[in-house]
Amino acid sequence: MKQLYFLITILLFTACGQKEKLTVISADDFVYNHNNKDIRLYTLENENGLICQLTNFGARVVSIYTPDKNGEFGDIVVGYGTGKEFVEKKENFFGTTIGRYGNRIGNAVFSIDSVEYQLEKNDGENHLHGGGNGFHRQVWEVENVDNSSIVFSYVSPDMEGGYPGTVSVKVKYQLTESNELKIEYFASSDKNTILNLTNHTYFNLKDAGSSEINNHLLYINADLYTPVDAGLIPTGELATVKGTPFDFREETAIGERVSASNEQLELGKGYDHNWVLNTGNDVAIVAAKVIEPESGRVMEVYTKEPGLQFYGGNFLDGTDIGKNNISYGHRSAFCLETQHFPDSPNKADFPSVVLNSGEEYYSICIYKFKTVND
């Protein structure tokens, strides 16, 4: 029997002042038991009618409903509609909190305090996104939830995934009255370890994955990026974006240069690289901006992190069927992941990802939603 996802109806006011019915995922239909814990769905809403739905499975974003330039609300997030699908279907990273280490670690090995740690090789010879049983596969606790915010928590035991230290993590999502989804990460460890947390939401500002994202206009606030080798591990070089397809310092269609003759694009099968953000002080800067011309939806990304991974959905191939029975085809979604650089534990010149015992980890990412009319 075909799963019925959309059973809750919410009344919204459009820009013209008329009521509009918006159907969102049912919390009752979403529930699924995994490892003797219930996977549940939580809904946040602000006074402007924006809605964000999240689950404790992976502390992840499931849906975000925002208005287009005509005031009509629609989902802009690619993913599944039930807890069961998130557990069982192929794509593990839709919307999730990534840990302990967002992105790749070369040869799945690193050293800290002169001790070498071997991690799972789950991406060829390399380690990706905390391994096959990383934070994205855990059922997190819910500490606090109200109409506009929720806090997920998880305790990662010593040597889980090969990482030293018992690490206590909290992720707070807040849907603000400024139409921001504010994500804050807090953590501490009882041993020196490494940590690099990020969010892996797949966006399509036009139609939540029914079409390609090549016409989305992208701006990235970065003069440099980190070139990669054949395993998508940074070479250690900080290369200029000037004169390359990686220059998004002016708003440019994602698909305009994605098929250009360029070794880095060939290695990544498109964009799957880390940009070195033009930071310089301890305030959240505009790291990126995306405009979808047809809908008029705009998303800005703010962070204090030194890096931003832009992934253009190169490995989506139409075999994943998600919400509304949408088949997620090639480049039907993009990710903008605020982070420290890939393979930083093995690159002495990259910003450090060491979390010492007794220190407090903090990171922030803000996705702000607007339209071209704002």
CA 186 to each of CA 127, 152, 353: distance values in angstroms, whole numbers, following the listed order: 23, 10, 14
Q: What is the pLDDT of residue 353?
A: 98
| DSSP string over 188-220 | EESS-EE-B-EEE-EE-TTTTTSS-STTSEEEE
Q: How confident is the model at residue 18 (pLDDT cuts 50, 70, 90)?
A: very low
What confidence tier does 281 reach under pLDDT thresholds 50, 70, 90?
low
pLDDT score of 72 = 97
Average pLDDT value for the chain = 94
pLDDT at 328 over 70: yes
pLDDT at residue number 23: 85
| pLDDT classification of 284: cutoffs 50, 70, 90 | confident
**DSSP-assigned letters across all residues of 266-333:** HHHTS-EEEEEE---SSS-EEEEEEE-TTT-EEEEEEESSSEEEEE--TT--S--B-GGG-B--TT--
- Between these two residues, 22 and 278, which has the higher pLDDT value? 278
Confidence of residue 11 (pLDDT cuts 50, 70, 90): very low
**What's residue 6's pLDDT?**
39
Element (H, E) at 239: strand 239-240
Q: Is the pLDDT at 87 greater than 90, yes or no?
A: yes
Q: Is 44 helix (H, G, I), strand (E, B) or coil?
A: strand
pLDDT at 348: 96
Q: Burial, 9: exposed, middle or buried (Cβ in 10 Å; 0-12, 13-18, 19+)?
A: exposed
Q: What is the mean pLDDT of residues 144-171?
A: 97
> Which residues make Cβ contacts (< 8 Å) with residue 198, sequence separation at least 6?
97, 98, 102, 103, 309, 337, 338, 339, 363, 365
Residues 369, 50: contact at Cβ < 8 Å?
A: yes
155-165 core/surface letters (b: 16 or more CB in 10 A; e: else): ebeeebbbbbb
Mean pLDDT of 133-146: 96
Which residues on neighbouring strands pair with residue 291, listed in sequence order? 217, 298
Cis peptide before 100 (omega within 30 of 0): yes
Predicted model pTM: 0.94
Tokens of residue 306, six digits: 């030194």
Q: Convert the pLDDT of each residue in 98-121 to its tens digit.
A: 999 999 999 999 999 999 999 999
Q: What does the pLDDT average to over 63-83?
A: 98
Residue 7's pLDDT is 41
- Which tens digits make up the pLDDT trace of 19-45? 356 889 999 999 999 999 999 999 999
What average pLDDT does this structure show over 50-55? Answer: 98
Stated as kind and residue range, the H or E segment containing 30 is helix 27-30
Query: Can you tell me the distance from the alpha carbon of 32 to that of 243, in angstroms, rounded to the nearest whole number?
Result: 50
Helix, strand or coil, per DSSP, at residue 106:
helix
| 330 and 314 Cβ atoms separated by less than 8 Å | yes
* Nearest CA among 205, 227, 223, 224 for reference residue 214: 205
Q: Which two tokens stand for residue 218?
A: 């992208």
Task: Indicate if the pLDDT at residue 10 is higher than 90.
Answer: no
Neighbours of 5 (CB within 10 A): 21
User: Is the pLDDT assigned to residue 268 strictly greater than 50?
Assistant: yes
Residue 177 confidence (pLDDT) above 80: yes
Ranking 23-27, 189-193, 238-242, 279-283 by mean pLDDT, the lowest is 279-283
Catalytic residues: 200, 337
Domains of the chain (ranges, CATH numbers): 1-222+276-374 (2.70.98.10)
